[in-house]
Structure formats: C-alpha cells, structure tokens
Structure 1
Amino acid sequence: MILLLSITLKAQMDQTAQRFASTITAEDLKSHLFKLTSAEFEGRETGTEGQRLAADYIASQMKSWNLPAIGEAGTYFQYITFTNQSWRKIEMKDADKELRHLWDYYAYPGTNPKQFDGNFEDAVFLGFGIDAPEYSDYKGVDVTGKLVVVYDGEPMHQGKSWVSGSATPSEWATDWRKKAKVAKANGAAALFIIDRKFKENVAEARKAILNSRNDMAKDEDPEANYAPNYFITTDLAKSMFGKLVSKVTGARDKIESKGKPRNVGFKCAVKMVAEKNYSQLKGSNVLGFIEGTDPKLKDEYVVVTAHYDHLGKRGDDMYPGADDNASGTSTVLEICQAFVEAKKAGLGPRRSVLCMLVSGEEKGLLGSQYYAQYPIFPLEKTVVDVNVDMVGRVDDEHKDNPDYIYVIGADRLSSELHQINEHANSTYTNLTLDYKYNDEKDPNRYYYRSDHYNFAKKGIPAIFYFNGTHADYHRTSDTPDKINFEKMTKIGHLVFYTSWELANRDGRIKVDKK
C-alpha cells in the first residue's frame, strides 16, 4: 500500500512538472531573445545605458508576474560595484635621494587618493599608530598636517598584546587599514608604516600593488577615509630618523615593555607625488524570487542563473550576443515564469527559487562573484546553482544531431546532482548529454569560465548547460536569426525539470565530493 502511494505521488509530481514545463515555448523564448538583442540595448555591456535598459526589461517581466521586489531600495536589483585602480605615477624622495617603488617603499592604489603631492618637514614617530580605549598612541598628541611614522603590528610583551590583553592579535595588527583610517581622523597628512617583512610582503602583494584589475567594492572613498599611506623599509626609516634613530628604537622598546605610548618628533625632507588611474564599473544583478510553499523547506534555496550582459558596442559595431547569452537569459526568464505559474496554482515549489540574471560575466564573472560575496540569501542554505550560458546554437561537432547539450560540473561536488539531471533527461527530454567539457583536463577550462563557478568555489553544487562555441562566438554576427529555438526549448525543459526536482524533493542534495 505504501509503495503504491509512493508511486502515485511520484506520477502526480511528474504530471505537475510536465504541466509547467509546457509553458516554456519557442514562441516566448523568441520574444525575449529578440528584445534582448535589439538595437536599443546596444549589446548590453555592463556599466552602459544598454545594460541598464536590459536590466529594466528583465525586471519588468518579474514585476508583471507579481514577484516581490527583494532588491535594494524596493527594486528587483542587486547593484554591483567594481573599482579599477592602478598607479600612473608614483615617486618619492628622502632629502635629495630618489627612492624606488617596491624597493624602498610601496603603496596600494585602492587605499590612496587619486592624486597626492606631499612635501614634508615636520614628522612624528607615533609608536604603532593605534587609537583604542585600551591603548592609544594618539592621546594628547597633535599630528595635524604632519607625516606620521609608525611600526607595523602592535606592541607585544612576553607573548601578549597590550591592546587585546592576550596572545591573540587585535584588529590593529591584522588590518593595517585601521591605522590609515585613524591617521586620517586625527588630521595626519600622510602615514608611513615601517614594514619589518618588507621583501616578503612586497612579493606577496605585488599583483595588488601594480596590476589594473576590477576589485569588488561597496563604494569606499579613499580620500574621505584614509590618510595617504605608504609602507617603508627599516633602512628608509633609519635614514629619515637620522641621529634620532636610537631615541626612536628606545621609545619603541619601552612601549613594548611597559605598554605606555611614547612619541618622538623629528624633522625630515620627504617629497611624494602619486597619481593613479581610476574607473568604476557599476552594473546590477536582477532578482526573480519565488518563495517556497513548504514551511520546512522554504528557507533552502535553488538558484538558477544566466548572465544577460554582453560586449556592447565598438565604434558603430554592435555585438548582439544572441547565443551569448540572450539565449540563457531568455531560458531563465521562462523557467522563472514556469515556477510562478506553479506557485499560483498552489503546486509548489517546496523550496524557494531565486532566478537571478547577472551582469559583469564578460568582465570576469563579476556579478556572480559579487552575489557570492554579498548574498541575498545565506550561502549555507543555498542548495545548488543551475547555470545556463549559451544554449541556442549547434556547434560543428553536433551539426548532424542538434538535440544535445554539454553538461559541465554536475558531478564535481555532488553525485546526486549528476544523477538528477540524468534522470530528468531520460524521463522527459532525451537529449544527448555530452560530458566532453566536464573533463578536468579540458584545455578550454569551461568549468571555470561561467557564473556557476563562483558558487562552486563556495562549496555549493553547480551544473552548467552549454552548447559549445561556433564561428559567431563574440562576434557581431551572433545574431538572433541564427538561433535554433526548437533545440533551445528542449534544453529549457531539461533545465526546468532538473530545477523542479531540486526544489521539490524531500532531501537536500548532498555534497559528497571535494
């Protein structure tokens, strides 16, 4: 009797899945895709008006389905910000001696102003540059307009910190930015931190110091928050202290032995010039949230993703990105609507589903990276990421069999995820599942090249659907007229069936692989 009931319930679930999968149609996919590739969206490059218009279109669909606006300020958006900074010019002199960046000193562009000219005669050695209730180097000392020189770390005595009162370092030792912030708050014109592991730290931080890259940031303003800050060698510090070097090292030793601050004023002849390249990239992830119906499971989340950005325009040439990735975006929109229809009919999903269209993928998986850093829902409650990136074309290898899809990553963290997708396909869609690019030795490294990877890095199982590349990949010729909508519909059904099972099964899939 129990077995018969189980079979009956399973059959009902299968019929329900088929009912809502049928709402994913070639006609609807085509409508979304032609809209996303239209001239008004100008290739959807992140940070452009075209990308913002595409985001608005996606959000308008979610609003029309009466989905809750769970984004920032009552919108459907999670705004992403990435800052690109690098040194254009950085110079320093001690007296008349030219100093070399990365040899005598180094500085991070991200915590320094866009432009800085310093010419210093008045300086003060201020211990460790700490300003805490337990211990303050700044108390009773006026550093306004002066160059402040401090040691790295914090004062320790017999294995204990005078700040934390234990062997565990305080934040003043683990986060040097606090010293730059408090120097700014106390009116210091600049901060020099004596780095007693200079060579080792330069080698480790060289990329962050020199390379121009997009760094995730929640609008931090260095001019407002940090004093200009430089790390210097012990040799440069000795040269600056001159005849007072013994007095300074003596003050440092007494600070460490007694736990009482000391300072030494001195004259110097330091000149600095720094200018940096600075740009900020702003985009948005668009959030379509369907709350689960099962009180015991609705606090677990199935995330379905696709990136909606592309390459934009280069001069008068527009890159429409029909396959990459208006195809995936259209598919996820249809999957989102299918779940909405199920919810309206009172038939699920049991777990909550987040259909998230991300931007910044073409800039380096930035949108999904941002979500993984600042998740809307707890990552520990996130069951899986189902990612759709390029599902509208047929590659040369399958020109005689368009009913295929490359499946990547499903078995990397969870053997159950692989089995669920296999079962969904054999039960409903009967596509050829090609695992060629799932090989860990795949030279293309596709597993690392789409948005699912930022979830996998956090230990969340992920599956990536991909049709392979073609002659129009990343070209102006990736146009909507070349999309195979019949094939795309079948893949959309498979993605939905797999997502449906993940959202409705009793047990959360297990992470059983490293």
Structure 2
Amino acid sequence: MRHNVYAYFLLAALGFGCAGRPSATNPITDSAKLSEAAPKYASTITADDLSKHLHIIASDEYMGRNTGEKGQKMAAEYISREFREDGLTGPVQNSTTSPYYQTFDLEKSVWGEGYLRVGNEKYLMMQDFFVLGNSPFQTEQAVDVVFAGYGIDDPKYSDYNNLDVKDKVVVVLAGEPKDRQGNFLISGTDKASDWGNDYRAKRNAATKNGAKAVLIVTGTNPGEFNSLTQRYKAYASRPSISLKNDQSNPSAASIYISPVAGAALLGTTTDKLFDYGNLVTQAGKPVAANFTGVKDVKIKTERIATPLPTENVLGFVEGTDKKDEVVVVTAHYDHVGVDSTLTGDQIFNGANDDGSGTVAVLEVAEAFAKAKQEGYGPRRSVLFMTVTAEEKGLLGSEYYSENPVFPLENTVANVNIDMIGRTDYDHEKTGNDNYIYVIGADKLSSELHAINEEVNEKYVNLDLDYTYNDENDPNRFYYRSDHYNFAKHGIPIVFYFNGVHADYHKPSDEVDKINFQSAEKVARLAFHTAWELANRENRIVVDSNKK
C-alpha cells in the first residue's frame, strides 16, 4: 500500500512539474523572465541564415522583384512559405488567395494627350509642364486661374488670406520668400522650410483651400526650367504605379510649369512675375499682385490606367495576456526590376535595398515563433510584414495604414528595417562597419528611443549614428521608408538603415557585397527592441506630436 501511495505522489509531482513548465499552452507572462530568455532566441538569428535567404530572393531568378511582376510574386510566395513553416499564422481574414497575403490593386498608368490652352496659345505636357501624381483633367476642362504668391498657408505667412480659390487653379512661385537680410521669412534663418523643399506642402495648402490644382512656376527662364525638371521629364515619360485615386477626397493636382506658360496664365511677363518676389522681400510679408488670371484657359491631362495586382505579406505571432496590442516589424521586399536598355547586367537584384531588411524580418519572425512554441511567446502580438511597392512611393505600407488588418489605435510601434549589412560613404572612410543609422525613435516616443539604446548597450554594442535623425538633414530619410506611413498616424517608429553607397539602385547591389556579420547584429538589435516593446508591462508612451 505504501508503495502505491509513493508511486501516486511521484506521478503527481511529475505531473505538476510538467504543468509548471512553460509551453505554448502554458506561456510565461512575467516581463523579467521573458527578458532573461531574450538572448537565447536572439542567438537563432545568424549570418548564415540571413545569407541563405538572401541568396535566394536577391538572385537573378527573382528578376529584381519589381512590383506586380513575376519576381515580386515569387518573393511573396517564398516569404509566406517561410512564415508558414516557422509557425506564424496568416492573419488576413476572408482572403481569396492566402491568409498571408493582403492583396490589392495598384494602378499602372501612362500619360496620354496633355496640353494647356491660353487663348490661342497651346502649351504641351512633357515640354512646358509636368504633372506630379494624379490630375482631374482627364478630358479638356475650362478653368479659372488665380495667382497665390508662393502658395504658402502658414501661421507666420499666408498667401491665402482673403483669397477665394475654391474649384480654381492657383499659379504660385516655386521656393519661399526671403527678407532683406537674405533669411527665409518662415524659418527666420538661412534654412528653407518644407514650403520651399517639398512641393507637397503647397499641394496640401491648395487642397485645404479648395483649389483643383496648383501650378508651380519653376526656374526663371526656359533653360532653367528644362534643367530643373529633367528628372521629372524622364520619370513622367515612363509608366508609373500608384494607389487608386480616391475621387471622394482628391488632392489638388500638382503641376510644375515653365515661367513662360506661368506668365501667360496671368497675362503678364516673366520679368514682372518674378519681380513679385522682390516686392515681398521689401515688405517682409505677402503683398497684392498687380496681375490676375486670364479668362480663356483650358487644361487636358489624359491618364491611361490599368490595374496592377500586388500584395503585402503578413505573418502573425499572437500575444498572450496583452494580445490585443500589436507591434509591427516591417521591411519592403520589392525592388526595381530589370532595365533591358543597359549593357551587361540588367537585373537590379536589390540585395541591400531591401533584400537585407526582408531576410532580417524572416529571421526575427522565426525567433519569435520559436519562443512562442517553447512558452516564451510575446505578451503583445507581433505582426511581421514585408510590404510591396516601397520603391513606387511607399505604397504597400500606405495601403496597410489605410486598410489595417489590426486597428491602428492598438498598434504600439513599428520597427522598420531598410538596408542593412553595407557600409556607406562616410563610414568607409574610417573603416567602421560596426554602426547603424537610427532614425525616428525619438520623434514620437522618448521611451522607444531609450529602449533602443538600452538593448543595444546590453546585447549588441553597435555604434548608433543619429546623423540622419536631424530634422534639418537634407536627405529627409525619416520620410522615405515605410515606417513613415505609421508615424503619420501617430504610431512610434524606429528605422534601421546603413546609409547610401555606390551600388544604391544599381545592378551592382549584389549579395556578395553584404556583410552578413553586420546584418546579423542589426537584425538582433531589431529583435531585442521588438521583444522589449512586446513584453514590457506598459505600452510605450506617445509624448510628441511629430508626424
């Protein structure tokens, strides 16, 4: 009898011991214990595995992964298969293709006939003006023209005060005004603001005030106009890809126009048009112009569009006690395809841009999935998303941000990886490959910035370079990768980036130039940051209004 009792207690003890061990059905939710486990799972992210993945998706077989084309589809299939085999779930409900795919149609379009008639004069698209983005003038339309100075609508300086531009076309000067000392009126310094650097600021102001289009007079003479717009001419002559235009709330069309055509629209000369800037400088504020829009103006900018199906690829690790909150880890898996006009290598394999970030996401996802299987899954859910069409204007991430699979209000942060494992111009000079540029971590959350620095010091020891985090840096990288479509919705982000090098956007961006030991360290840094975001007790604070 005693032997039977002993056996019972032994079995019970063993049973309770098993029940007490962490497992997928009995996970750890203690932040301290999860933190202790982090190095084990970070160590599964290896240079060899990164290399294995990248040698596949950045091979010639994938033909440069151009959005909507065969190579991009092959990459999507590879990524989704890796997610599935690693144990991540596909979170897209009611998908007609795969629960790992967020499918949608972009528009591939080319310009057709385009012109601007001013009385009997005809100015031609691609010669006298260029459209940036969409345009409402699919067929010829008569328009009312209004001059709106520099097109600025800022608390410090507004060209729209007491100006009715509703449903009209506004003609504005490029750049922004200066004072008599040569400083810009908006900033009060020698540094231009977004009003002078980014045409979208003038487009948004025109849209807010109800205009149909903003025509930005560029250059001071025909030669200068041609020089300044050369790259737009090359861009506009090729097919472009965009999200479908939402006609329910369209933005004002943005058009770069030559000084001659701009002056003709206002019934004046180019000399008188540009003298307006001198009047503003003398006054130090907007002044009334002595010219007005002519009456007989018609515009046509025909656009011929066809649908282009594509997909973001999503893998999901569900959280435990805080599963309704989500950390998103991203990279873009598209590149720019093939250029058959080149001699020699014609395939843009995009090993660094952004094959490197894509394979880092695969490795970080595998580490989180393995942790979950062993009972150390994240408290918050983690969405791993490789996005399409970044090279076409951050379109895949923009589509997700407008059509989120998980509510944006529940999205804690975005960790974005775009180009790792190379050394840029500045660090080549010093022979330092133990660095990474960190961008945006402090813009919306001081806690995210602190987390990134703390886990780096504790686990990775990279040199964190904040050069491109400066708001005045002219490269504006903060606005140039997929994290920005989260940041503009108030979601904290951190962006890891190795900087630009001689192979950027060239066929020579090949796998053999990747330093996989460096990429391993950055991928582990991304892992540790995401791990801390997912497992800490409190959601990180949003304590800045930076967008």
Q: How do residues 200-279 of structure 1 correspond to structure 2 at under 5 angstroms?
A: 204-206=211-213, 214-217=241-244, 276-279=303-306
- Native 8 Å contact 2:167 2:211 kept in 1: no
- Native 8 Å contact 2:66 2:335 kept in 1: yes
- Native 8 Å contact 2:137 2:302 kept in 1: no
- Native 8 Å contact 1:327 1:390 kept in 2: yes
- Native 8 Å contact 2:440 2:478 kept in 1: yes
The match for 1:470 is 501
Bigger-Rg structure (1/2): 1
Q: How do residues 300-379 of structure 1 correspond to structure 2 at under 5 angstroms?
A: 300-315=325-340, 317-379=346-408
- Among 422, 431, 438, which residue is 1:393 paired with? 422
Q: In the alignment, is residue 420 of structure 1 matched against residue 451 of structure 2?
A: yes
> Per-residue deviation at 1:111?
7.9
> Per-residue deviation at 1:216?
2.1
> Per-residue deviation at 1:197?
4.7
> Per-residue deviation at 1:11?
5.3
The match for 2:511 is 480
Where structure 1 has 5 or more consecutive residues not aligned to the other structure, the ranges are 1-8, 102-107, 118-194, 221-271
- Among 449, 459, 463, which residue is 2:490 paired with? 459
> Per-residue deviation at 1:381?
0.6
- Native 8 Å contact 1:91 1:99 kept in 2: no
The match for 2:42 is 21
Q: How do residues 7-156 of structure 1 correspond to structure 2 at under 5 angstroms?
A: 12-71=33-92, 72-73=95-96, 74-85=98-109, 88-89=112-113
Q: Which letter does structure 1 place at the counterpart of 2:100?
A: Y
Change (3 A) 1:480 1:215: closer
Deviations 1:466-514 (A, max 9, x none): 0111111111111111111111111111110000000001111111011
Rounded to whole Å, the distance in 1 between the matches of 2:424 and 2:134 is 44
- Among 532, 536, 539, which residue is 1:508 paired with? 539
Rounded to whole Å, the distance in 2 between the matches of 1:432 and 1:64 is 34
Where structure 2 has 5 or more consecutive residues not aligned to the other structure, the ranges are 1-29, 124-132, 141-164, 171-205, 216-231, 248-298
Q: Which letter does structure 2 place at the counterpart of 1:499?
A: A
- Indicate the SS of the match to 2:213: helix
> Per-residue deviation at 1:419?
0.2
Normalising by structure 2, what TM-score? 0.62
> Per-residue deviation at 1:24?
0.5
Rounded to whole Å, the distance in 2 between the matches of 1:413 and 1:92 is 44
Q: In the alignment, is residue 280 of structure 1 matched against residue 307 of structure 2?
A: yes
Rounded to whole Å, the distance in 2 between the matches of 1:205 and 1:218 is 14
Identity %: 50
Change (3 A) 1:275 1:468: closer
Q: Which letter does structure 2 place at the counterpart of 1:405?
A: I
> Per-residue deviation at 1:404?
0.8
Change (3 A) 1:18 1:46: same
Deviations 1:421-459 (A, max 9, x none): 000011111111010110001111111110001100111
- Indicate the SS of the match to 2:312: strand
Q: How do residues 429-468 of structure 1 correspond to structure 2 at under 5 angstroms?
A: 429-468=460-499
- Native 8 Å contact 1:306 1:329 kept in 2: yes
- Native 8 Å contact 2:65 2:334 kept in 1: yes
Deviations 1:363-415 (A, max 9, x none): 11111111111111100110001000001111232232211111000000100
Q: Which letter does structure 1 place at the counterpart of 2:383?
A: L
- Among 357, 363, 384, which residue is 2:413 paired with? 384
CA-based RMSD of the aligned residues comes to 3.6
The count of corresponding residues between Structure 1 and Structure 2 is 372
Change (3 A) 1:19 1:110: same
The match for 1:137 is none
- Indicate the SS of the match to 1:362: coil
Q: Which letter does structure 2 place at the counterpart of 1:310?
A: H
Rounded to whole Å, the distance in 2 between the matches of 1:12 and 1:204 is 58
Change (3 A) 1:11 1:461: closer
> Per-residue deviation at 1:273?
10
Rounded to whole Å, the distance in 1 between the matches of 2:64 and 2:214 is 31
Change (3 A) 1:304 1:10: closer
Normalising by structure 1, what TM-score? 0.65
